[in-house]
A and B are shown apart, each in its own frame.
Chain A
Amino acid sequence: MKRHGWRLAATGIALLIIVPLAVVLASLFSPERDVWPHLLEHVLPGLLGNTLRLVLGVGIGVTLLGVSLAWLTAVCEFPGRRFFSWALLLPLALPAYVTAFVYVALLDFTGPLQTVLRELAGGPLVFPAIRSAGGVIMVMSLALYPYVYLLARNAFLTQGKRALEAAQSLGYSRRAGFFKVALPLARPWIMAGLLLALMETLADFGTVAVFNYDTFTTAIYKTWFGLFSLQGASQLASVLILLVFALIAAEQVSRRGLRFTQAGRHSRMERIILRGPSAWLASGFSALVLLLAFVIPVAQLLLWAEKVVAQDFDARYLGFLWHSLLLGALAAALIVAAALVLSYAQRQHGDGWTRAMARIATLGYAVPGPVLAVGIVIPLAWLDQQLIGAARNWFGIDSGLILQGTLLVMLPAYLTRFLAVGYNPLDSAMQRVTRNLDEAAQSLGLSGLAMVRRVHLPMLRGGLLSAAALVFVDVMKEMPITLMTRPFGWDTLAVRIFEMTSEGEWERAALPAVALVLAGLLPIALLIKNTDKS
């Protein structure tokens, strides 16, 4: 493809995402004078501190958990390493707000733990409050660390041993080698995962709502649903979009001038074999994270589901499951393809325009779902209006809505939300596919598509599969866009969870939540089967 071809493709994809974002951003041109003075005086001051604390806390939490576990399972050897390397991805299948609800139920004053302790103590006792900043940060870190884990692990697995050997020959200890060589080399991957986790944190409402922890998103919801001002809510969301854009740009700038390469397959690292206490420490740590992030919440969900299964489970669940899987798979294919085009365009022609397009195209992930859903529905309704007009004029038919309520709408809608999830893993993997590699391939007579197929794609394999699995699982968990754009009667497992939780019946929501976890095992299993040959 010629230079313009790539730019055009990148611009086209970005446009699809820019339209709904523009609908949100357009609100900035007509300030909501009624709402802002109130927000500035009574709402925002407290929220900004809260949001900052949450972002910092979750950022540190997911990085510590994700990187340490990735290093252990990718580079070291310890009892259970093989099992943990895939099992530690499982929390991906659990929506964060479900984990949150389980922990609040277990650890709050009325939960079983405190109740038993009170009975043992025979009176009131001091117990750290779960509904607190610490509680939210703990739960969100447990729910979101897999993004960092998955990507950092890809980095460590493809880093090769040369760099570490070189470090050791220069007299670095093993620890110094990790901090001074391996970690900086994995930076694009870690940042990509961290960005995903933080964008999700910023856009989250469900999880913080369970803790009644107020963040910037809380103000968005309050302005929309409480003050009936979608305009004001969109303005707040715009501020969020611009902030995230600045964050991403800063990260890009600080990375400028760095180059990353892939070590050949033959140079796969000899694993560092842990022995004695350090081996058991590694196993114990992995087990503890898995227990807290997955086993305990799922066990509690199973206990709840068991109580309602007789009353709520019926043949329709097959349909819910099928719809969830189908949407996840189709969206994963579409989004990974779009992400591939974007990151390829960037690689071929990393000019300012293409880079900017690629970055803008991933901003949808930082917008709270319902706000983005509105941004999607407004232009679509307009398009439908035009089509209906055309149908009336040309064919004399009163067609009713043509696009809305079809997959033609749902899939592009998911694209606007989840492109970042597909793009970030691919973009970091693309760092390994260097220019001199192209030259080498060309000297061997490979060029164009043949080079892409035989040289690039195999190198991108890990990134592609990670991207597809992440999108697949995220789409199945998604709620607001699914609710707003689904065809009549086309319910998914996430919609089912909504039906139960909207009236506070959390325990009945356990049944679809368990089904969602089971459905999420499929993409995770596929990912593991295809990447983990070590």
Chain B
Amino acid sequence: MRILKILFVGALVSLAAASACAAEVVVYSARNEQLIKPLFDAYSKESGVQVKFITDKEGALLQRLRAEGQNTPAELLLTVDAGNLWEAAREGLLKPVASQTLNANVPAHLRDPGSQWFGLSVRARTIFFNQQKVKPADLSTYEDLGSAKWKGRLCLRTSKKVYNQSLVAMMIAEHGEAKAEQVVKSWVANLATEPFPDDTKMLEAIAAGQCDAGIANTYYFGRLMEKKAGLALGIFWPNQQGSGVHVNVSGAGVVRHARHEKEAVALLEWLSSARAQNLFADVNLEYPVNPAVKADPLVAAWGGFRQNPLNVARAGELQAAAVKLMDRAGYR
């Protein structure tokens, strides 16, 4: 028994020693390893602070944070969708951060009005079309993809993906539920084939002529064109006369029970800085959130566009309503 006790104390002491080492930040990340590791490596080199991270799906990370409560080792929560950050804030897992730097670097509509989370890269969800079958002049808005001329010509990704849930949530915010439901129903009526499991497959189907147009995130398009340059795929920025292109963010917030809050805020601020923004966005062909930073040349070549200025937190608030609406509309 005595040996056991000694072992136990020894283990505790070594654990305590390890956790007392302050120059370290622990990140729970739903953004995958190859997108964040280069960034954290650069930060460690610059600041001397080690970044430890663990990746998982958003839902699992949230539950883990909740279960661990005040004992959590996590200091920063990084996710790939505003809805999940909104949910983390609602569940009281994050804490507000008052930072001039963050407020200056991140535009107001891309961060939490309560300052609990901040967007770090912009993901634009826009319209793509087959250049042999569609002229850009035929396109105008997301809503118009439901009009009769697109009958049997539309491709969509599954409604189970959060990107589409956010898109529809923002349409509810803009038009109200009744109108949004009408639009979604009209999309479903125009589908050329069953909804796709992912954006890439859908873009390939448009290029192959299975359908003529569809909605996808720009970085999937970027990745696909890097691999198969010759595809007859065009990009179109819709709703430029109206509400603007639908955007979502990948972003982060400081965990409520963070032990090293100061270090966590410092890392968050650094992530929004000019130096880090390119590393953060370019590695996945996304747009920097910081307006002072230019996008990757390949991304910039797709042209400028006006973003929807509604706060992305709305996507979280209305996500459940959007999911229910899409179920009612028969959008699978």
Contacts and interface: CB of A to CB of B under 8 A. Distances in A.
Given A38-B324, A221-B160, A483-B55, A399 B208 contact: no
Nearest to A100: B197
Nearest to B68: A381
Contacts of A212: 158, 160, 194-197, 332
Given A110-B201, A210-B197, A381-B69, A488 B16 contact: no
A502 B57 contact: yes
Contacts, number: 149
Interface stretch (A172-180, A222-230, A250-258, A441-449): A222-230
Given A377-B63, A483-B60, A502-B57, A402 B320 contact: no
Contact of B55 (A224, A225, A374, A498): A498
Given A110-B205, A228-B319, A402-B12, A480 B324 contact: no
A385 interface: yes
Given A397-B13, A400-B15, A401-B73, A227 B197 contact: no
A401 B59 contact: no
Given A228-B319, A377-B67, A381-B68, A129 B194 contact: yes
Interface in B19-72: 19, 26, 30, 32-35, 52-60, 63-64, 67-69, 71-72
Contacts of A115: 208
Nearest to B70: A385
A225 B162 contact: yes
Interface residues of A, number: 62
A515 to B, nearest CB: 16
Contact of A228 (B19, B72, B87): B87
Given A104-B197, A227-B324, A228-B320, A222 B160 contact: yes
A155 to B, nearest CB: 38
Contact of A488 (B54, B284, B319): B54
Grouping DSSP codes into helix (H, G, I), strand (E, B) and loop, the B interface class, with mixed when no group exceeds half, is: helix
A211 interface: yes
Contacts of A109: 193, 205, 208, 210
Contacts of A210: 197
A503 B284 contact: yes
B198 interface: yes
Nearest to B32: A499
Nearest to A218: B160
Nearest to A42: B327
Interface string A248-269: 0000000000000000000000
B177 interface: no
A131 interface: yes
B285 to A, nearest CB: 11
Grouping DSSP codes into helix (H, G, I), strand (E, B) and loop, the A interface class, with mixed when no group exceeds half, is: helix
A213 to B, nearest CB: 9
B307 interface: no
Given A110-B201, A221-B160, A381 B67 contact: yes
Contacts of B327: 38, 42-43
Contact of B59 (A214, A224, A377, A378): A224
A499 B160 contact: no
Nearest to A380: B67
A385 B162 contact: no
Contacts of A385: 69, 71
B328 interface: yes
Interface in A170-217: 209-212, 214
Interface string A118-147: 000000000001010000000000000000
B13 A222 contact: no
A370 interface: yes
Report the contact-size class of chain B (Cβ under 8 Å from the partner). 35 or more
Contacts of B328: 42
Contacts of B198: 504
A329 to B, nearest CB: 23
Contacts of B32: 498-500, 502-503
A419 B158 CA distance: 34
Given A377-B67, A381-B67, A503-B284, A370 B60 contact: yes
B199 A225 contact: no
B200 interface: yes
A9 interface: no
B67 A499 contact: no
Interface in A386-411: 388, 391, 395, 397-402, 404-405
Contacts of A211: 197
B264 interface: no
Given A42-B324, A131-B194, A370-B59, A397 B16 contact: yes
Contacts of A484: 56, 60, 64
Contacts of B35: 503
A38 B326 CA distance: 12
Given A212-B194, A400-B71, A110 B204 contact: yes
A176 B207 CA distance: 56
Contacts of B68: 381, 384, 401, 404
A359 interface: no
Given A212-B158, A391-B12, A226 B165 contact: yes
B300 interface: no
B174 to A, nearest CB: 20
B323 interface: yes
A504 B199 CA distance: 8
B58 A225 contact: yes
Nearest to B193: A109
B171 to A, nearest CB: 16
Nearest to A508: B34
Interface string A359-377: 0000000000010011001
B67 A227 contact: no
Contacts of A378: 63, 67
A218 B204 CA distance: 25
A108 interface: yes
Chain A CB within 10 A, most for which of B18, B165, B207, B327 = B327
Interface in B301-332: 319-320, 323-324, 327-328, 332
B202 to A, nearest CB: 10
A483 B67 contact: no
Nearest to B20: A398
Contacts of A404: 68
A384 B199 contact: no
A230 B320 CA distance: 13
A400 B64 contact: no
Interface of A: 38, 42-43, 104, 108-110, 115, 129, 131, 209-212, 214, 218, 221-222, 224-230, 370, 373-374, 377-378, 380-382, 384-385, 388, 391, 395, 397-402, 404-405, 480, 483-484, 486, 488-489, 491, 495, 498-500, 502-506
Given A370-B60, A499-B33, 14 more contacts: A110-B205, A212-B197, A222-B160, A222-B323, A226-B320, A227-B324, A374-B60, A400-B16, A400-B71, A400-B73, A484-B60, A495-B55, A499-B55, A503-B284
5 shortest interchain CB distances as A-B pairs:
A381-B67, A226-B323, A42-B327, A400-B19, A110-B204
Interface of B: 9, 11-13, 15-16, 18-19, 26, 30, 32-35, 52-60, 63-64, 67-69, 71-73, 87, 158, 160, 162, 165, 193-201, 204-205, 207-208, 210, 220, 223, 284, 319-320, 323-324, 327-328, 332
8 contacts: A42-B327, A222-B160, A229-B320, A381-B71, A398-B16, A401-B71, A498-B55, A504-B220
